[in-house]
Chain A
Amino acid sequence: MAQLRAPFPIIRMFLLFVLMSLSSQTAAQAIEVSDWPALEQQARGKTVYFNAWGGEPRINSYLNWAAELLEQRFDINLQHVKVADTAEAVSKIIAERQAGNDSNGSIDLLWINGENFAALKENKLLFGPWVEEQPNFGLVNADRFPEMREDFTVPTDGLESPWTRSQLVFYHDSQWLEEPPKTIEEILAWSTANPGEFTYPRPPAFLGSTFLKQAILELSDQDPALYAPVTDAEFERITTALWNYLDALHPTLLRGGRYFPNSAAELRRLMGDGETSLAMAFNPNEALLSVRTGELPASVRTYVLQGGTIGNVSFLAIPYNAQHKAAAMIAANFLLSTEAQARASDPNHMGSTTVISVEDLDADARLEFDNVTADLAAASQEALSHKLQEPHPSWTPALERAWIQRYSAR
């Protein structure tokens, strides 16, 4: 039972009453994570409220497909609750804990990583460990790819299951810009000489925050303090260079820095309309997917910055108070399956990067994944292998807050 912090006896009694009636409704079923067949049985007929970012229609359509299959095969009703920012879902879980709601949570499964995961883990708001019990977990070959067990330097401890990979890439329209800038400093130089051709999404949109992190990693030469929890002193020291950089950059941006786009999709639109000639994305396949749909002209090329760019894995987690944990686990396992991952990586569907170790699959299965390499608009695998690790999660909110403080009002 959670601590009740109501001072007045009557309110306390009322909350007690509410809690008792809630817990009697959902008699806590013992969840034995290693007994997978039992979990499948428990999951039948249940609904999984999957809170995931809803800003990308491709992902939404993919989840519709997944929902159909989960219904057919496991009798699970997957409901995609679209959130604009994962932080909203985090705040909901925290609020539910505060209200003493320990078994009737409104979220069953959550698409999450970074500082959001760190916040939930720290406050013990996640169910688990359960991840490594999944039949499909072996597919990611976590021994070879340690990033499957680590989230922005924080160990996952079996609390979240890998779902997709991402990496920051840049893309440019070669009809207006043939030789794009290859480092953060070069970007500033080029933008000063060609104002109005570039912009980045407004933090705290995660792409915008990622740009800040990329910039600060390069400007500080990957200062080790970035991989440790943030302190005020370190923050002051390291970010000076970043603010100087941005102060110089902003006036040269699109709209003179008086307006920042909201998302990766908007960046695509700006390039598609010819307003900008340089943009960025977190999905390495984004540009080529857009060229295929005609959103971007065929002259677009993707590339990675010289020193490497930030890459990460994003995961699926189950809140401690989820109502249908068994069903959530079944769903997560399904999304980790070869079938689901193959479809996800297919540019016709989601076009994301898989977390499965493709080389370990047999020849037939491997074929399902081989669909983008020859595309002109894609970055080479070699280039993509230059990855930078994400800084410690505590840096992200600090950077976001500081950016908002400095640049929200001019």
Chain B
Amino acid sequence: MTPAEIREEIIDILGDIAPDENLDELVDEKNFREQLELDSMDFLDIVMELRKRHRVQIPEEDYGNLASMKTTVDYLEPKMRDIIKA
């Protein structure tokens, strides 16, 4: 997957776990927490959905990399590079 495709996938996951949020205006450099009302349960869901959909494992000590869209995509890029977008 390209970084753009990974971003699209994260948007899709966020749409699933937070359907009432407007994701069109999401600023990639800003923290999710500042823009969306996500709590620890929602972050767990991002991790779990990535595992479910793409078999991507994210160890707990790496959860901090999911702070914003930019850091998330940067972190996932090497892990998801070889995944073919369905």
Physical interaction between A and B = no
